[in-house]
Structures are given as C-alpha cells and as structure tokens.
Structure 1
Amino acid sequence: MNSTSHRTGGPAGAMRAWFTEPFDYRWMADFLNSRPAGKLIRWVMACLTLNYGVLAMVSLFSADASRSPVAVAWKACLVVSVVAVSAAWITRPFPGRLGVVAFAVFADLGTASSLLINPLVDALLTCALFAMIGTFCTFCVSPRWLVAHLMFAVACTVVAAAATYSSGGVDTASVIFRTNVVLLAIAGVPLVSHLLITLLTDDARSSFLDPLTGLLNRRGLDAAIGDVWPRGREKDRCSAAVMIDIDRFKSVNDLYGHEEGDAVIRRVADRLRAHMGQYGVIGRTGGEEYVAVVSTSRLHIDALVHGVRRALRDPEDTVAVTVSVGAAIVLADSPAWAENTDIDLVTRATRVADSMMYEAKAAGGNRIATTEL
C-alpha cells in the first residue's frame, strides 16, 4: 500500500486498500531471524503454545468435563500436537507464509474443538483464547488471513453464547455482557491494532525506499547493510559492495525525454533486484546510480558480479543502455575484517567499489572492474 492510500478515498477506500495490501512474509521472517529478539519471540510463542496443552490437561479434572473416550483421546492428541509445535518454535527459524498461516489455522481449529468437549459453562471463557491467536495474526499474517481468523473466532463465540443462553443457567444480561467483552478482546483489539500497525509500518518503510524504483534509498541501505555484511565472515563465503552506473544516461533524457528515462531507471532496478536481490540488499543512491551489498559463496561472487551486464541486457528494449560496474570483494579470511569494524569496512568497500566503477566508466563504459580487499 502506498503512503497516500490511507489518506485518499475516505474510510471505505482506506479499508479496501488495507484489505488488499500484499503482506511481505519473507521480509518478516528474514527480519526476525536476523535479530536476537527473534529467538526470544520464538521462545514466547513456544511457551504460549505449550500452555494450550496444559489447559487441555487441566480441563480433564474439571467436575463437569466429559470423560468419554473420544474427549480424552482428542485432548491427548491436542497435548501431543502442541508439544510438537512448541518444539518447532524453539528449534526452527521463524517460519514464512506457509508456517505462520498453518500455525494460525492449527490454533483456531484446536480452540474450536475445545469448545465441543469442554464444559458448557466454560464456553465463553474458552473463546477468550482466540485473543492470543488474534495477537499473533495482527503481526504475522496478511489482512485477509486476519479477517478470516476474526470471522471464524466471532462465529465460534456467537455459537458458544447461544449455547450458554439455551442452557438456561445464565440470564440474558450476563450472556450479552460476557459475549460483548469477549468479542472486543478477540476481534476489536486485533482489527484496530492491525490497521494502526499497517499504517505506521507503511510510513516507516516508505521512508527507507526510493519512490521511483522501490529499492532502498541511502538511509534504507545504511540500515539494511548490517544484516547482510557480517555473513561474509562465515566459512567459504565473502561479501561485496557493487556500484552500478548507467552509461551516458543524460543522453537518454535528452533523446527520449524524462518519462522514458524514468522507465529505464525502473527497468534497471527491477533486473538488478531479480539478479542480486536474494543475496543481499540493493539501493538507488543517485539519479542513475545503484549500490548492491551482497554475501554469497566465494565460487559464486564472481559470477554474480560479472553477470550484472548480461542480466540488464535485453535486445527487445526500446531504449538500450549499458552500465559500468565496480566491485570491492572481501573474502572470509581477509585481514580487512580484523583491521576494521563492520561499519568502517563496508564504508571502505563502498568507496573502493565507487572508484572501480569510475575506472570502468573512464575506460569507455560497459565494463566491470573488481578488486579484493
């Protein structure tokens, strides 16, 4: 969702934009897995999940609990399942789209099944467990999956409220009061929270992005490099700073106009993202200048750098352009790692890559110049 979609089209337009916005599951997983706090979050999720199993066992000792073979067997299955899922939260990285959606569905269905075998007097209280799932969905799934969860949770709560009322053990006012409190907790809070978080996140992320290409701007690049650069210290890996500049770009604007020039800049950005994006971060730091900071194996780094020109070339382009590329490569066993802090080293590598790019440009352009630090 672009930053203006929240402010145009009125409330209905804003809600529609929010609902249809794609959710970047990969970015979320990479972000959490690259930070120490991500491990803490996985431990918290493991503990909360394990608590479901504890509740299932405790409910067996309730005076009104069903002790039929089916109920006991199902609760045993729930306990085994939550132990396995808790172990996965601890031992595995934070999951991507399939994992987080599967967990939300598992938690929803497990909670709903508990309503069928727990005492009726506890039905509305059991529905409060949907609040924890809603909190997870607020941060970890798309708006569409959140709405699906909320519809399911609200439906279960309404059915539980109707069953409680039909039992005759609770007066009408009490049922309405309890149902409303539960609905506010399981639906109102997650929905408002997701809307607010989406708004804040979009505006925060847009401040790190180049509006023309969607690549990182200089500020975003500086913030993201710290997650990529240290990987080069690992065995059989290396890091590289790569500068890419479109040759004679002024003539493109002069001959074809600025609109076509913008199209060229976007096209180069898209192809750079496709070629190098999975190995690091890419930014646009000038009019026709791009920077990539990547980490990959020593065998692959040369192919990645020297494949830039081929990745950007397409005979069917209406405006054919060439690029000059400069790269500074830091091997895993390079003494530069010990001689500099990570920040100093990436700054040094970027400056060297910039110098190499200008060498390539001075030699006539459409060239690649590399060096090792």
Structure 2
Amino acid sequence: MKALIDLIAQWWRLPDQYQSFMRYLEDRGLVSACRILVGGTAFGMGLILVLMRWSAVGPQGSFWRSVNLIVVAACLSAALIWWLFPPTRLWSYTFVVGSDIAIAAASFSDVDPLARLLCCVVFASIGGYIAFFHNPTLQLGHLVFATLVTIMAGWPLLFGDSTDPGLGIAKIGVTLATVYVIPVVSQIMLAMLSSDATTSEFDPLTGLLNRRGLSRRATDIVGEQIDEHNALLVVVIDLDRFKEINDLHGHDIGDNTIIRTGLRIRLWTSQSALIARVGGDEFVVLERAPFNSVAKLSTRITTFMSGDNDVPAISSSIGIAIRTAPREVDETVDEIVSALFRVADSAMYQAKREGGNQVRASVV
C-alpha cells in the first residue's frame, strides 16, 4: 500500500511535460507527425459529428443542431491550427479545455443515452494527450469533468424515461474505465520515455549536461538581450595532460578527476549557467556576466580549478569568448553559440600552447 501511495505522490509532483516532451519529439523528428496525428483526430471527430446530423439518435431540434454545428466548426478549426501553425504551450492548454467542452456539448446533443456514452469515450484520448504533454493537476481536472459528464450522459438509463439500471451501471462503468485506463497507461509510457529523454541530455559520469543537452537549453540563456551589462560568455575548459593521468594511474583515478573538475566548475559559475561535459576531458560553460566582471571571473576560475592537495596534480587550459554586441534579428541561437565556441576553443588552445594552467579571453 505504501508503494502505491509513494507512486501516486511521485506522479502528483511531476512538472508540466510540454517543453520536455516537445524537445523529445523534435530530437526524433516527430513533431510534424504529431501535429498531423492530433490535427487529423480533431478533423475526424468533426466529420463524425457531421454524420450524426443525419442519425435518428443524433442532435434533434434547432438548438442542439446549432450546438452540433458549432462543435463541428471548432473541431475543423482546431485541425487547421495544428496543421498550419507551430504548437505552443498556451495553444495546447486551450486545445485540452476546448476539447473537453466540445466533447460534453457533442454528447448532450445526442438523443440516445448510449450514443451519449459512446461520445464520452473520446475523453480518454484527451486524457492520454494530457499524460504526455501536461501535468497531473490538469489531468485531475479533466478526469473530474469527464466523470461528471459521463454520469450525466448515462443518467436517463439510471433514473430517466429509459430506465435500465443494469445497463446504465454497466455502460457508465465501461465508459469511465476507458476514460481512466488510457491516461494511466500513457503515464507509464511517459515515465519510460521521460527516463530516456532525461538520460539522453546528461553525462552519466558527472551529471552535467552533454553536448545534446547543452544545445537544447542554449536558448534559455542566450535570450534576446546582449550588451556590456549582460554579456554572453562561452568558456571552454580542457584538462592538461589528462591522458598521462589515465595511463599512469588508471581510469578510476581519471574518472574521479573528471568528477572533481565538474564539481569545481560549479563553484565559480552562477546558478543560471549551463555546464556541459562535451568530450573526455573537455567542458563547456554558457554564462552571463557584466563585461567589467570578466577579469574577476578569470581570477575566480584560476582559484577554484586546481587544489594543492590534488592527487594526482591536475591543471586546466581555459578559453573564454565574450560577446557584448546585441543579437541581430536573423541570428539563430546555434549561430551565436557556435561562433563563440570557436573563439573560446581557439583561446583555450592558445593557453595550452603557452604551457597550460592559465586562462585566455577574447572579445567577439
């Protein structure tokens, strides 16, 4: 029982998944396929509701036929938005809330209780969508709303003119089971995918970002504003004579040296900095700092990157590229970071050629 409670508590603490899952899809070239699939589902639901207008158990009377027409228009509009425009978190939330309202309206439009309950089954697909793209709070709100609508849809079978309690309880139960089970299964799949997506962004030895993780998050720190008061820095760090340490002391000592270096980099970087291990003994930092503080930063780096009691002794060659020029309108984040990386890498190799254990900086 405790394990179940812990599992539910862990699920409840999950953050909104939209950005992370979109990055997962982007990494695998699946964003377009996802947009086509979700838009196609909305389009298909619109066509089904059009066909219900000619059904004896479909919407009857001018009011409910008007409601049906509005829901059809909403479905087709949602499909076009998914197909024509890049998705955003706001649109995704709007899609979820709008879909729940549309499903409820479509269900109440039907005359027959069984047809209403069949329409409520579509709530399951929205629950599955939320499981992958959003958070437990939204999921809980969706499930409460879906439960109320499903009970109301099957109410005539329980207490109305078409009373058949056995059939009502059975059909409402099956509908709710479907509505609840699909999100749970989707959540299990999400946990597996999230583990894959998370581990693919981090270096397993140091816990720092890897090259892929750094590339994904670069937009967060580059932003739009770059000037002397908020300069953009790329720092490249390469350990001196690291191969000799591995050869003389073994890979366990080498791994410990890499881990220690990662910890030391955290000592002189800000909390917002991006730190990555991009090679065997090479690290990259994306940092923000005022231009007039770079000299002090260089001193801090030198102070923290080596220790008198290190066994074996280790030093680093470090290159810093500093940009204070504002970002051009057509400049991409990849272009900015790549240009700074090349300059910082060149400065690092200059430091290494001059004997290592020093910092060289260059302004772009």
Taking structure 2 as the reference length, the TM-score comes to 0.66
- Cα distance 1:313–1:15, how it changes in 2: closer, same or farther (>3 A)? farther
Alignment pair present for 1:106 and 2:107: no
Equivalent in the alignment of 1:158: 151
Alignment pair present for 1:325 and 2:319: yes
Q: Map 1:1-373 to 2 at 5 A.
A: 10-33=3-26, 35-96=28-89, 98-121=90-113, 122-169=115-162, 171-202=164-195, 205-206=198-199, 208-210=201-203, 215-217=208-210, 221=211, 243-245=235-237, 262=263, 265=266, 268=269, 270-273=271-274, 283-285=276-278, 290-291=283-284, 310=294, 313=297, 324-325=318-319, 354=345, 356-360=347-351, 362=354, 365-369=358-362
Residue type at the aligned position of 1:359: Q
Equivalent residues of 1:123, 1:160 under 8 A apart? yes
Residue type at the aligned position of 2:319: V
Alpha-carbon offset, residue 160 of structure 1 = 1.9
Residue type at the aligned position of 1:268: T
Q: What are the superposed Cα offsets for residues 288-320 of structure 1, whole Å, 9 maximum, x if unpaired?
A: 963269xxxxxxxxx9899697499599x9x97
1:94 aligns to what SS in structure 2? coil
User: What number of residue pairs does the alignment pair up?
Assistant: 301
Alpha-carbon offset, residue 184 of structure 1 = 1.8
Identity %: 24
Alpha-carbon offset, residue 30 of structure 1 = 3.9
Equivalent residues of 1:123, 1:164 under 8 A apart? no
Looking at structure 2, the residues matched to 14 and 52 of structure 1 have their Cα atoms a distance apart, in angstroms, of 34
Looking at structure 2, the residues matched to 204 and 77 of structure 1 have their Cα atoms a distance apart, in angstroms, of 39
Q: What are the superposed Cα offsets for residues 139-198 of structure 1, whole Å, 9 maximum, x if unpaired?
A: 111122122212211222122222332235363222222222212211122123214422
- Cα distance 1:308–1:102, how it changes in 2: closer, same or farther (>3 A)? farther
RMSD: 4.6
Q: What are the superposed Cα offsets for residues 12-67 of structure 1, whole Å, 9 maximum, x if unpaired?
A: 12211221121242233344346542111111111110122212222221224443
Taking structure 1 as the reference length, the TM-score comes to 0.64
- Cα distance 1:20–1:225, how it changes in 2: closer, same or farther (>3 A)? closer
Q: Structure 2: any 5+ residue segments left out of the alignment?
A: 219-232, 241-258, 306-316, 322-337
Equivalent in the alignment of 2:325: none
* More moved, 106-115 vs 205-214: 205-214
Looking at structure 1, the residues matched to 110 and 174 of structure 2 have their Cα atoms a distance apart, in angstroms, of 20
Looking at structure 1, the residues matched to 271 and 93 of structure 2 have their Cα atoms a distance apart, in angstroms, of 29
Looking at structure 2, the residues matched to 312 and 162 of structure 1 have their Cα atoms a distance apart, in angstroms, of 72
Looking at structure 2, the residues matched to 227 and 264 of structure 1 have their Cα atoms a distance apart, in angstroms, of 18
Residue type at the aligned position of 2:95: F
Q: Which has the larger radius of gyration?
A: 2
Equivalent in the alignment of 2:250: none
Alpha-carbon offset, residue 227 of structure 1 = 11
Looking at structure 2, the residues matched to 268 and 212 of structure 1 have their Cα atoms a distance apart, in angstroms, of 20
Residue type at the aligned position of 2:179: I
* More moved, 72-81 vs 125-134: 72-81
Residue type at the aligned position of 1:115: S
Alpha-carbon offset, residue 106 of structure 1 = 0.6
Equivalent residues of 2:236, 2:344 under 8 A apart? no
Residue type at the aligned position of 1:324: I
Looking at structure 2, the residues matched to 202 and 266 of structure 1 have their Cα atoms a distance apart, in angstroms, of 28
Equivalent residues of 2:16, 2:134 under 8 A apart? yes
1:324 aligns to what SS in structure 2? strand
Equivalent residues of 2:17, 2:133 under 8 A apart? no
